[in-house]
Each structure stands twice: as C-alpha cells, then as structure tokens.
Structure 1
C-alpha cells in the first residue's frame, strides 16, 4: 500500500484482553501513529489498566507514547469490573515485562484535549472502553467533535442482544450517562453543522463485533506469520496451559487469548473469542472495512430492565439529525487477514531487529 503520512491515533482503552490486541494492532500498523493512550476503568480497575498499558508498550518496544490515568468512577454509577472475563490482572494468563515507564502528570480527559489540539482536524479517536474520559474531555473542550478527524467507538448493541444485561453491552452499561453525553455532544455538533458527517462516531456494537470470532486455527496463523514456533491451542488442553511460542509478543497474546477462549467456552459460545476491540481499531484506521448506516443513537438511562440499552432511531421517529454511523456488516475473513498481515511481521521484527 502506498505510504502516506501516518495517521495520528489516540486510544482510550480499559485493557482487557481484546483491548490489548487492539493496541498491538495500532502499534504494528505503519499507517498509524499512536500519539496517546488513555486508561479507563472497565474490564479491570483503572490502576491495573494503567499497568497493563505501560507493560504492553514495553512488550511492543514502543517509543515514549504518553499513557494517562482516567477517571476512577463512572459519571453517576459505581464502578464495576470484569475480572471473570479478562483474568485477575486483565490480560488472562499473560505476563508483561518490567520497565520504568511512567504515567503522564495529567489525566485522561486532559490527554484527549491535548492530543486534539496537537493534531487539530487530523486526530483519530478510538474508544474501546466506557466513555467516561471522552465525556469529561468534551465537557472541558466543547469543540472536541470538530477537532477530531473521526472517532471509532466499540460499544452498544443494535437490534441485537446485550452481553451484560439482556439488552446492554458492557462498555455502555459501565457508564451509560457518559455514553448518552457523548452521543448528545456529537449530535449537537451535527445539528449546528460544526462537524461534517464523516466526523460522527462510527459505532461497532455487538451486532458487528460478535462476527469477529478468533479461533485457535486463526491464532496459529498469527504465530506462523511471526515465524514463532508455537503449538495450536485446543479445547482439550489443561486449563491455563502456557504458550511455548519463542516470540515474546506472540507468547503474551496466546496466554491472554487462552483465558478468553476458556471464558467464552464456559459461556457456551465455543472455544473461541470475540475480538470486539481490534475490529474498532481497524475501523478507526479504515472506516471502509465495515458497512455502516447513519442514524440517531441514544442511550436508555432510567429503564428498569433496559438501562444501558443503545437505541438506534432507524425510522427517524425522533426527527433528530444523525449522530452516529452504526456498523451493520463486516467481512471477518478480510479483517483477520489484515490483522495477521500487520501483527505477524511486526512480532517477527521485534525479535529479529
């Protein structure tokens, strides 16, 4: 592919196994320059997310990318985390290298604003965790929607079941108020013509991301692309079997994914894992890899059974301007090809450089 200037990307993550895969994808992508990482509590508490983000940057031998600590609590709710899904430290069985990297002196909301002002009109935003930090950033800098080139969000579930309650997706359900606020802010910017349609968030909900099912066979393709000697995982393996890959990045990803496979298996979904966040990372760099429909999205905050539900007004009953592009279709094979052709050679170079 022809090389243009790398796109500046700011990633707000609650790392987590699939967030880790998303960060590695961004770092491995030559068309992206990761200019900042915001840590948000979600899959695990915010301090553990910070540790995971710093350790991952070290594992990937990334340059001095600023990592910020985000809000400790959602805007209105009490914090909930998901160690059962991601492991006690958030990265399954993976162990991260020691390092002396430090967090920024400023928090994640300010990190968003700084990055947007450093790359006005160019910055690509990605959120794969709750939207708390982004909501706080937009309060601090109301021009934020117009400062971003585009925004990709992993969250919600459209005409599809939830994964936290029957109707709500995890990232939204952790902080529904923040999600509602973000959609409202971008909606007002659209109404006032402060932003172009392409600056509306592209939302990758469960209806899209649950199509991205990673299997042991696909993970083996990644190890092969990295020229890492590894053994394909199997549902018959003892729980917690550690990767024997001779590549430290592949080993960490396999150890993280093992826990995720086991979790999905226990949920009755098979020995596989849904790569929600890496899909959103790929969409941030290239929105064309998913089919989308523009619509108005809002978040239910008060429903007894439906709090955290994301509602898309497909039939324009609210009479409001669209505030989002909802992902409605994706080609999983094309996504995995792209993921493997970026992350595999990157992992190989880490060892052979």
Structure 2
C-alpha cells in the first residue's frame, strides 16, 4: 500500500488529539505538518496542545504552525464546555520544548502543497478559516492537494444549533469559500461520526492498551458526557473519522452530493445544505460506517503506538 502524506489542520480538542495520534501511528500515513486554528478552544490552547502532543507522541521533525484565532467576519465562538478550557479535558501533558514553525499556518499550507503538488492530502478537523485564507492567498491550493477531507457539517441536524455542526457554525463564511473552491470536499459529518461512539466495550479495549490507553486515549475519549441526551451511548470520536477515511475509505459508504453552506439565515447559519440528487456534486459524503472494522483499525494503530512506547 502506498503511504499517503498528510497535512492536518486542526483545533485540538479531545477528538483532534485522538486524530493526531492516529495520523502519527498509522504506518500507511505520513504526517508532514500540523496547523492549528482557534475553534474548540482558543488558539493559544489549541496550539499548545499540538506542540505538546508532538513531543509526547514523538514526531519532533513534523512542523507545527499557528493560524487564525477566529473566523473571517463573525464573533469568535468555542466549545470549551465540551473539551475543557484547556482543550484536552483533564489530560496534562509535559510542556513542549520545541518551537512553533516560523511560518504561519497559511504560509505552511501553501508552501507544503506547492512543493509537492498532487502528493499531500489535506485534512481539516476544525473551523475552515485557515483553509479559506490559504485559498485566498493561492487558489491553486485546491489543484495541488491530492485530496481534501473535512470533519464538519451534517445532512440532517446540527450539534451546536438545530441546523449547524460546530466546525461549520464557527466560521460559515470560510466553509462556504472552501466548498466553492475547485476541488471535491469529502464531508465527514455528524451523521457519520455519531456512528463512532466510545461504548463501554470500546473503552475496555482502550484500557487494554496500557499506559497510553489509561493516561491519554481513555481520558480524551470519555471526557464529555451529554447530560441532555437520555440515550447517551458514549462520546463520538468525530475527528478520528476524517483521518480514518483517508487511510481506510473502504470502511465508509459514501455518496456524491452538492453541499452549500448557509451564511445568511437567522436560524440556519452554518447549515450544510446537502443535495444528494444534484447533477453537479462538489462533495463526497460518507453516510455509513463499518463500525467494527473502524474500531479494529483505530485501536490496532493505537496498539502499535502503545507497543512502540513500551519497547
């Protein structure tokens, strides 16, 4: 299998941290850069988390660059009530010693894709602000990316408002620009990611990973519990699904669609209006997940990282 090279734009974030672990640990993926954006928590904390995860997990040569603190035009919002003020729940990692890349996120995205056109897969698991700014700076980013996958949106209902998923709601104008660019967006949205729940059985398998499972994976994967959901079945690992799609698209059933982002609606801002009947699709939307296969894959990668840390 050909190794896929990956640039991850993210806002760590509980599930972003788990996505970073997957991107780092899968031997069929090569994490070439990480860029951060304000989203789940403020930019200072998402960036700190990315830097600390880089050293804790052991990929010191991968550049980390900081990007947009807030959306293109709207008031900044975050989801600290879900992720904790620091962004990674109760997890405390050793302070990072290695610095940020001297370039900003937009510059790093543009240069990385420009220098290896058609070779780098772009995955975004936070608000789309950095991606929109990169497209404004250099529209050929859409041409240079080998593929573009997001965690964001939904084709039914939202999780931040009845209409909108958080990553799109946080910067709908940026998301609209991104969907309008000259590429196919793989939209790994809520309808898919809510199939990837950390049930008690999955938690038990995570604990079996040893110190990595006990100290990092389980605390990240079980921090959030929705008190308003009487049918709560476990925390969803939303962003992990986007990285998993890149590595294992065979685990997903996907359907072409036309996706437009609502920016003007009083009650529907951030809604991803999804038309599966359109004759001019701009997106590929995963709709069904092979749940057992997904967890076998993800936990297999995590087990590989755990074993390497103990050897």
* TM tier, smaller: over 0.9
8 Å CA contact 1:130, 1:172 repeated in 2: yes
Task: Name the counterpart of 2:89.
Answer: 92
Task: Name the counterpart of 1:252.
Answer: 216
Hey, which bits of structure 1, 4+ residues long, moved more than 6 A? Answer: none
8 Å CA contact 2:8, 2:33 repeated in 1: yes
Secondary structure of the 1:35 match is: strand
CA distance 1:37–1:9, shift in 2 (3 Å):
same
1:241-280 Cα shifts (integer Å, max 9, x gaps): xxxxxx24641222223322xx335544426101110011
Task: Name the counterpart of 2:265.
Answer: 303
Listed as ranges, the gaps of 5+ residues in structure 1 are 190-198, 229-246
Task: With the length of structure 2 as denominator, give the TM-score of the two structures.
Answer: 0.96
1:276-310 Cα shifts (integer Å, max 9, x gaps): 10011101223232111112110011111111110
d(CA) in 1 for partners of 2:270, 2:188: 16
Task: Name the counterpart of 2:283.
Answer: 324
Task: Name the counterpart of 1:235.
Answer: none
Aligned partner of 1:161 among 157, 161, 170: 157
Task: Name the counterpart of 1:337.
Answer: 296
Moved more, 111-120 or 247-256: 247-256
Aligned partner of 2:167 among 171, 177, 182: 171
Bigger Rg, which one: 1
Task: Name the counterpart of 1:145.
Answer: 142
Task: Name the counterpart of 2:242.
Answer: 280
**Post-superposition offset of 1:103:** 0.8
Task: Name the counterpart of 1:233.
Answer: none
Aligned-residue Cα RMSD (Å) equals: 1.5
d(CA) in 1 for partners of 2:103, 2:221: 32
8 Å CA contact 1:289, 1:330 repeated in 2: yes
d(CA) in 2 for partners of 1:248, 1:265: 28
d(CA) in 1 for partners of 2:251, 2:68: 32
d(CA) in 1 for partners of 2:184, 2:231: 33
8 Å CA contact 2:222, 2:234 repeated in 1: no
Aligned partner of 2:190 among 185, 194, 206: 206
d(CA) in 1 for partners of 2:292, 2:257: 27
Task: Name the counterpart of 1:232.
Answer: none
d(CA) in 1 for partners of 2:93, 2:231: 28
8 Å CA contact 1:125, 1:284 repeated in 2: no
8 Å CA contact 1:19, 1:128 repeated in 2: yes
State how many pairs are aligned: 311
Aligned partner of 1:71 among 49, 68, 72: 68
8 Å CA contact 2:195, 2:289 repeated in 1: yes
Secondary structure of the 1:345 match is: helix
Task: Name the counterpart of 2:48.
Answer: 51
Q: 1:257-268 residue pairs with structure 2 within 5 A?
A: 257-260=221-224, 263-265=225-227, 267-268=229-230
d(CA) in 1 for partners of 2:179, 2:126: 15
CA distance 1:253–1:112, shift in 2 (3 Å):
same
Task: With the length of structure 1 as denominator, give the TM-score of the two structures.
Answer: 0.85
Secondary structure of the 2:146 match is: strand
d(CA) in 1 for partners of 2:6, 2:231: 33
d(CA) in 2 for partners of 1:341, 1:220: 14
